[in-house]
Structure 1
Amino acid sequence: MSRAWQVGIFGTFDVANYGDLLFPIIAEAELSRRLGAVKLHRFSYHDKTPPHWPYEVTSVSRLPEIAEHLDGVLIGGGFIVRFDKVIATDYYPPNAAIHHPTGYWLTPALIALQHGIPLIWNAPGMHCNEVPPWAVPLVKLTLEHSPHVKVRDTLSQATLARLGDTAKVEVLPDTAFGLPRLLDPQSPSARFLALCAEADLTRPYLVVHAIAGLDSFLTLWRTHAAQFEDLQLLILPIGPVLGDHESVLGENLARARRLPYWPDPLLLAELLAHAEGVIGHSYHLAITSLVFGVPIFCSADLGTGKYTALPCHGRIFQLRRDVAIDPLWFRAQLGRQPISAATAQAMQQLETHWDRVAELIREGRRPTQQALNQYWQALPGVLEGLHTHIQHQAAELQAEREHQQHALEALHHSNSFKLTAPLRHLRRTLEKWLGALRHD
């Protein structure tokens, strides 16, 4: 029997956020379909294990010992190409030697190149952030030596494409558009039916994201609840790690239901697939609704960042906090319908993507070690140049401070400063007297 393919996927799979947890599930299903036996190593900052987590997650601290055994490396998806420090509350690397936040995406990419492992950008995104100057050479290196660079929106593409002269950066729909390959809403699972019974979800329902900013919908429901007597509300956290909680929406929501536990990703997706409509902010909440033909009323700005990739898929409606919703219009939008042509095309693009990923893994190791060796050879010069630049800036700053100090000393010794000293003393005395009078 041949060995299983060893594939690493990198992202934030150790946080309670629906979208992040989906990516390894989709990747494992698609690669197994094409390659046969696949051992997927899900790398994030921290170890996680079932039954308290949907699957096993391996800490990136173990990557140096595992890397040489990998047949492929996938970066993403999700919003992980970033350099800011606030990823989630108290979310940091397992040790100080691992840089935050590039430790779960950029350094694994460099390690893959060092070992000649096929490096695949699995439609990650940037979402309105830039690459700082210190990171440009490293990101450029990974882009130019990856055989497959896919990002999930045109804004991410534009930012990364500027870095590499030879890198071919292309847009690919988020891999969550492939969910229908894993889940058939025409055949409800036993787990789904059991959960609905446990939550007393007995009628057609709307899913409401348990997050702030849904004021216009909440007002609609509280004001016109009688017009929706046949519907229940399912209050559903999508990203508990981001602060989602049922209590955020308050009380007095007629026919509202809550789940007894936070479901695993595929069960959560099934809940969305069977809804009459979905209201919320999450990107993957929206994608899941779209791929199953469910209307999504989105509180995120559809004209900004990653969300600009969604309006072309139809049946996604901008929800604004301060604009009232017409109940008749809202009612007319509800119910599942066939998916749009754009959504069907996205699914086909993903089929081609996974075919190519499997092909690259089968092809085996690539000659990327030389490029990394050349970079390491040049690194001391880069560091020395950076040190010289910092010293030069420090010297300029010190010279500016000395210049300002000399100017201040010259002012203190000037005749005008001496002549106006009595006036300054008089002003301070008057301010002192006036202050005393105010307190009497």
Structure 2
Amino acid sequence: MAHLNVRLTGTKVLTECRKQPAWQVAIFGTFDVENYGDLLFPVIAEAELTRRLGTVKLHRFSYNAKKTPEWPYTVTSLTELPKLAEQLDGVLIGGGFIVRFNKVIAQGYLPPTPDIHHPTGYWLSPALIAQQHGIPVIWNAPGMHCNDIPEWSIPLLKLALENSQCVRVRDELSRDSLRELSPTTDIQALPDTAFGLPNLIDEHHPSKAFTELRKTFGLDKPYIVIQPIHVVEPFLRLFERHPQSLCGYRLLVLPIGPVLGDHHRVVSTRIPNTITLPFWPAPLLLAEILCHAQAVIGHSYHLSISALVFGVPVFSTADLSIGKYTALAQMGQMHALVHTQELTEQWFTSRLGKTEPSASIDASKMELANYWDQVADIIVRGKTSAHHALNRFWQHLPTLLENGAPVPLLPIEQSVSTLDYLNIELNARQRQIFMLTEQIVSLRNSNSFKVTAPLRALKRAFRKLRTR
């Protein structure tokens, strides 16, 4: 594929002559699940690359295919990657918590075919396939979040890292783990790409969709967003004891990760007069809702980032000293709830209200601008010689297989990952209970149920007669 006379000027890529109408770029991750953060990455990448490269055709690869209008955008199944790979100009891996080897990602989330390894099939294998075709590979600030690297995977992961054109991860702990594996690779920590949301959302000029939503659902008054997940229990108890702490605010109950078990009834059954939406908003609309809130409460990493970049205070139940959350510890409006700390009305109300984003947010946005410039430059430079290294590896692979890489002892995950697994299971069970309850209520309120009520009563009467 020819790309002629291409140069970088500031943050713009100027292409004076080009034989194809669009740059073909692929991004890999879990874009096929209802999880706000995962759905954001392709939206941000497409906007940033289009700003620099012009016309970009972004291929979003995940396990399962998705289409509009049922989904925010088209997602291509990984089963299609082998035949589409050679036409790509660049590959982005992530972001999100995808550099992982544990099997529980979300309840029931598995590849469409056993030929695709779970879970490296949506991050590690695509990197190796791209490198075999000489396609530049960029690690788009994914993270590891407290999980180990099993010994069987080390040769493959090391190979992928050392033959990538840009390796950026979203926190220092992930960087240190991968540097230990591949000391010669330039691996750097980069803010999560969601810190670039202000480039996509103009908070001073609300979109038509948000303006209509605000009028329809009563968000024209100051509101607080709460993620309906079981770990927000301390805040629910506070609001039950001190309902006046919400005085002057509406409370919007907004699921951030339905696939992980978020369900509005976690909150709405406890706190009266909450607002819930009859639909789950598309990623940018959800981000705009967070942008205009006076505070957000929850556990989600991207809930926190999306609020912080617009100066919205975050009340988080996450431990900021562990894993991916360490990247948020120094953000000005990040108020973490320490488990030993008594949550008081004064502590909560004194921190409400939108302010200017902290200086660290501005620094993160600058880092990301430079990063996207670099990504555009890498794509423009074109094909690489990475396939030579992979060819040598394939020569060596039979020896590795014959010697047999030791199988690690289970569990692979550390205690934090085990806790995450338990939280996923608990949230999923809780959501199933709520959904079954809603189905029962809906059935009892249906016309058919009411019409057949006499028949059911007659049936019960016959049973009693037969028993006698």
Q: For the superposition of Structure 1 and Structure 2, which TM-score range results when normalised by the shorter chain?
A: 0.7 to 0.9
Q: Greater CA deviation, 200-209 or 221-230?
A: 221-230
The correspondence of residues 42-191 of structure 1 with structure 2, limited to 5 A, is: 42-191=60-209
Q: 1:311 aligns with which of 307, 310, 329?
A: 329
> Match for residue 240 of structure 1?
258
Question: Quick one: distance in 1 between partners of 2:340 and 2:288?
Answer: 31
The one-letter code sitting in structure 2 at the alignment partner of 1:369 is H
For 1:98, give the aligned amino acid. Answer: I
Is residue 223 of structure 1 aligned with residue 267 of structure 2? no
Confirm or deny: 8 A CA contact 2:253 2:274 kept in the other structure.
yes
How far is 1:255 from its partner?
Answer: 3.2
Q: How far apart, CA to CA, are the structure 2 residues paired with 1:197 and 1:252?
A: 25
For residues 2 and 63 of structure 1, what CA distance do their matches in structure 2 show?
A: 21
| Cα distance change on mapping 1:223 and 1:389 into 2, 3 Å | closer
For residues 210-241 of structure 1, what are the alpha-carbon distances to aligned partners after superposition, in whole Å with 9 as ceiling and x for unaligned? Answer: 10111221122222223432111000100000
**Aligned match of 2:456:** none
State how far apart, in whole Å, the 1-side matches of 2:29 and 2:405 are.
32
CA contact (8 A) 1:290 1:313 kept: yes
CA distance in 2, matches of 1:227, 1:309: 30
Task: Select which of 21, 41, 50 maps to 1:3.
Answer: 21
Unaligned runs of 5+ in 1: 391-440
AA partner of residue 292 (structure 1): F
Mapped contact 1:276–1:336 kept (Cα < 8 A): yes
Deviation at 1:388, TM superposition (A): 10
TM-score (norm 1): 0.86
SS at match of 1:278: strand
Q: Deviations over 1:78-131 (max 9, x none)?
A: 000000111111111110111000000000000011001000000000000011
Give the letter for the 2:193 counterpart. Answer: T
What residue is the counterpart of 2:271 in the other structure?
A: 253
Match among 319, 341, 345 for residue 359 of structure 2:
341
Change (3 A) 1:233 1:250: closer
In 2, the alpha carbon distance for the partners of 1:120 and 1:226 equals 50
Counterparts of 2:369 and 2:312, CA distance in 1: 22
Contact 2:100–2:119 under 8 Å retained in 1: yes
Find the counterpart in structure 1 of residue 32 from structure 2.
14
Deviations 1:306-364 (A, max 9, x none): 00110211111112466432223322211111111111000000000000000000000
Q: Is the 8 A contact 1:12 1:44 kept in 2?
A: yes
Equivalent-residue separation in structure 1 for 2:87 and 2:140 (angstroms): 20
Q: Retained in 2: the 8 A contact 1:82–1:102?
A: yes
Q: Structure 1: which amino acid aligns with 2:390?
A: L
- In 2, Cα distance between equivalents of 1:339 and 1:203: 22
The AA in structure 1 aligned to 2:123 is W
Deviation of 1:193 after TM superposition, in Å, equals 1.8
Say whether residues 1:384 and 2:380 are aligned partners: no
Indicate the RMSD between aligned Cα atoms, in angstroms: 1.6
Q: Secondary structure at the match of 2:350?
A: helix
- For 2:437, the equivalent position in structure 1 comes to none
Q: Which ranges of structure 2 fall in alignment gaps of 5 or more residues?
A: 1-18, 409-468
Q: 1:363-402, aligned counterparts within 5 Å? A: 363-386=381-404
Q: 1: CA distance between counterparts of 2:25 and 2:407?
A: 41
Q: How far apart, in 1, do the equivalents of 2:219 and 2:273 lie?
A: 9
Counterpart AA for 2:138: I
The answer to whether the Cα contact below 8 Å between 1:216 and 1:321 also exists between their aligned partners in 2 is no
User: Relative to 1, partners in 2 of residues 1:252 and 1:108: Cα closer, same or farther, differing over 3 Å?
Assistant: closer
Alignment partner of 1:332 is 2:350: yes
One-letter identity of the residue aligned with 1:290: L
Partner of 2:217: 199
Pair 1:276-2:294 in alignment: yes
Question: How far did 1:269 drift?
Answer: 0.4
Deviation at 1:190, TM superposition (A): 1.4
**CA 223–108 in structure 1, closer or farther in 2 if over 3 Å, else same:** same
Determine the C-alpha separation between the residues in 2 that align with 1:310 and 1:211: 20
CA distance in 2, matches of 1:308, 1:59: 33
Alignment check: 8 A CA contact 2:151 2:407 kept: no
Aligned residue identity for 1:37: T
Q: How many residues align?
A: 390
1:27 equivalent in structure 2: 45
Residue in structure 2 matched with residue 411 of structure 1 by the alignment: none
Letter in 1 for 2:127: A
Match of 1:41 in 2: 59
Q: CA–CA distance in 1 between the matches of 2:155 and 2:77?
A: 26
Amino acid at match of 1:205: Y
Structure 2 letter corresponding to 1:336: K
Q: Please say if residues 225 and 254 of structure 1, whose CA atoms lie closer than 8 Å, have aligned partners that are also in contact.
A: no
Q: Which residue number corresponds to residue 443 of structure 2?
A: none
- CA contact under 8 A between 1:14 and 1:45: conserved in structure 2? yes
Shift of 1:376: 0.3
Give the deviation of 1:375 after TM superposition. 0.3
Alpha-carbon distance in 1 for matches of 2:329, 2:139: 24
1:256-267 alignment to 2 at 5 Å?
256-267=274-285
Q: Which moved more, 1:380-389 or 1:191-200?
A: 380-389
Worse overlay, 335-344 or 21-30: 335-344
